[in-house]
């Protein structure tokens, strides 16, 4: 006997109720359950990690800040708090549920959530009227992305940044550095214990004399 409509709908409603009760955490968990490889983590970033990662940014010099993989906006809000009134934040995510959630949840004229891939960052920033980004932040799970995607994103990011601009990366594995080294002339690193799980931080700067800038 096939289940009635009410019976088939019950599990979805239960999931929706749990997601609603947990707020952004529930939304993030739902994203992880649907796309574990793309989301790569079960818990959003901690405040300590956010403050550590953003500590080196000179906000007076930021016209355009780009974020890859914003999820439920854990970094978007702290970035908007620090961003100048006439600057912009473009947040790019491949997950339509996260982008819909961000559009509903953050009302700020400086904020532009975009459904797309970080690999297309150059076209996305051009479509918003910018030539280059000043800072690009990534919460992407580089080491679990499909083959070729991580290197393509690192190369596109180098081209999308202005000389002197920085790629800010937080990752659970040190291997993220392997994606940065072919492109960026200067890479500073750090580590943050106060996050679940603890993670590596990288600040990779387009120096203007990197090998690709000389070609
Ligand atoms: C670990 S979560 C980051 C969560 C969030 N930034 C935080 O700090 O809690 C990784 C995010 O990257 C997104 N993602 C995966 N591949 C992507 C790609 N190629 N371009 C843009 N976003 C991507 C996933 O949908 C997910 O939202």
Q: Please give the domain boundaries of the chain with CATH numbers for all domains.
A: 36-214 (3.40.50.150)
Predicted confidence (pLDDT) per residue in 27-74, tens digit: 656 666 666 655 556 578 899 999 999 999 999 999 999 999 999 899
The closest-lying atom of ligand 1 relative to the alpha carbon of residue 75 is 8
Q: Which residues pair with 114 in a beta bridge?
A: 92
Mean pLDDT for the stretch of residues 98-104: 93
Ligand 1 in contact with 41 (CB < 6 A)?
yes
Ligand 1 in contact with 139 (CB < 6 A)?
yes
Mean pLDDT for the stretch of residues 147-151: 93
* Atom 14 of ligand 1: nearest residue by CA position: 69
Looking at residue 61, the DSSP 8-state letter turns out to be G
142 versus 93: which is more confidently predicted?
Answer: 93
Q: What does the pLDDT read at residue 39? A: 57
């Amino acid at each position: 006997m096939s289940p009635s409509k009410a019976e088939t709908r019950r599990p979805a409603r239960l999931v929706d109720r749990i997601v609603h009760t947990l707020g952004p955490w529930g939304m993030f968990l739902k994203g992880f359950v649907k796309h574990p490889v793309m989301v790569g983590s079960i818990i959003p970033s901690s405040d300590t990690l956010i403050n550590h990662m953003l500590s080196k940014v000179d906000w007076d010099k930021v016209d355009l800040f780009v974020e890859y993989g914003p999820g439920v906006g854990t970094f978007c809000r702290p970035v908007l708090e620090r961003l100048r009134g006439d600057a912009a934040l473009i947040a790019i995510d491949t997950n339509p549920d996260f982008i819909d959630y961000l559009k509903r949840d953050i009302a700020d004229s400086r904020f532009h959530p975009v459904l797309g891939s970080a690999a297309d960052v150059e076209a996305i920033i051009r479509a918003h009227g910018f030539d280059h980004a000043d800072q690009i932040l990534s919460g992407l799970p580089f080491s679990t992305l499909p083959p070729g995607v991580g290197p393509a994103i690192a190369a596109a990011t180098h081209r999308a940044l202005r000389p002197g601009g920085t790629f800010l990366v937080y990752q659970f594995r040190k291997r993220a550095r392997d994606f940065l080294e072919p492109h960026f002339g200067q890479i500073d690193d750090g580590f943050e214990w106060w996050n679940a799980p603890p993670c590596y931080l990288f600040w990779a700067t387009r120096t203007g004399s990197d090998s690709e800038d000389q070609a």
